[in-house]
Structure 1
């Protein structure tokens, strides 16, 4: 990939960390964007130990000014951003009628407004450079719904719609905008959800044809494909990585 530069949000742990490591292994420089600088630096250390190059940048994707500062810092270090992976996300599993406005706002701000903010600031750079690939991490919950995840599903459905629309608008600039929709995945966030939803892992494993949760490397591999040269003619697509739980 001739030392492309990737800006990965929520790369301090879980799927984001694995995406950072995977892209670094494919000769990309990595900007580890996260609100937790301790875990972000751990990702940077992991990338460097494996022979890659990375920096940690504080980025609160819910705040446009914070994203602007993170992009500025990134450009000062690497001069360009070729790839954007909108991975950061958050959820709280509970019945809709028991959920509260504070939870709604947090989920919407992180899951939907976050990608909107990063795209608003980074897409113009890609247009100017004549090159760019964006991968938004949505969820199959945004395609088919998920009990106990009404607002989360709504935001991820929004991410899928945003991806398709931006793909149409950016096609004239030859930018690729795609979406990866994971199914249930074994991540720190999912483990937190499991701590107050006992039995959720076992019940999900029973209905997933592959009989296991996705691992972060499963999602990272899909991202790696979509930002590769092999996917030059792929745009506006939603790739489900769910072990067969959903089939398009």
Structure 2
């Protein structure tokens, strides 16, 4: 057993896209679980509210600004986290954007932006952090996929990126498992966030109408909330999840795939 795997050892976690929504909920849950958390988003200032919430609750958190699709920025961010909090051994790749459009109207820029943040960003963050994990003999990598990976009208870019993350997750699990590192993906269904509220606005609907329509198609008869995803991530990041790797967990209120 390595020193970092002894019970009670405080692990260092990084959550990308953590200034709001699912990322914020995940960061707060991991902090409540006893991790020191790097709250990372594009603009460091937007992370401060989440950091303050964590510290008020007695946790430890650090605001970090970085563009996850920029290799130099990722390297600097992880170096800063390692220096100020310690070597990170839990990584949640949550940063994401949408640029929805039907295929015939989708621009190359809309495609590239989504690919760069979701796929390139997750690759760069994982590659940068895995060295700390292999050295510690322990690692938990959790990538945020989506039910959109199964196909979703108007989201060719987002669906392709989220499906790509599933293949990335399974490959990382195969490559890094022997070092005590697991890699899994959580694929949310309809979650109540600013992003889904923006979707309603684009559709010309009130948000509560979109939620009611979505809930009608969900077996548990409600839409999800960010804490639903945070609970799943908490399990996959835990000591007890060491024999769960390369899996895609659909957190969508019913069976998906």
Q: TM-score range by the shorter chain?
A: over 0.9
Q: State the match for 1:12 in structure 2.
A: 19
Greater mean alpha carbon deviation, residues 14-23 or residues 34-43: 34-43
- The two structures, once aligned, show a CA RMSD in angstroms of 1.2
In structure 2, which of residues 191, 199, 219 is the aligned counterpart of residue 193 of structure 1? 199
Greater mean alpha carbon deviation, residues 92-101 or residues 1-10: 92-101
Distance 1:65 1:207 in 2: 43
Kindly indicate whether residue 106 of structure 2 is the aligned counterpart of residue 99 of structure 1.
Answer: yes
User: Is the contact between residue 92 and residue 193 of structure 1 (CA under 8 Å) also seen in structure 2?
Assistant: no
Q: State the match for 1:113 in structure 2.
A: 120
How does 1:61-76 map onto structure 2 within 5 Å?
61-76=68-83
Q: State the match for 1:218 in structure 2.
A: 228
Cα distance, 1:205 vs structure 2: 2.1
How does 1:1-248 map onto structure 2 within 5 Å?
2-142=9-149, 144-199=150-205, 200-244=210-254, 246-248=255-257
Distance 2:108 2:223 in 1: 30
For structure 2, list consecutive stretches of 5 or more residues without a partner in the other structure. Answer: 1-7
Deviations 1:106-164 (A, max 9, x none): 1000111110010111111111121111000111111x211111110000000000000
User: Is the contact between residue 146 and residue 162 of structure 2 (CA under 8 Å) also seen in structure 1?
Assistant: yes
SS of residue matched to 2:55: helix
Count of aligned positions: 246
Distance 1:58 1:39 in 2: 9
SS of residue matched to 2:82: helix
Distance 1:168 1:154 in 2: 22
Cα distance, 1:213 vs structure 2: 1.8
Q: State the match for 2:4 in structure 1.
A: none
Q: State the match for 2:3 in structure 1.
A: none
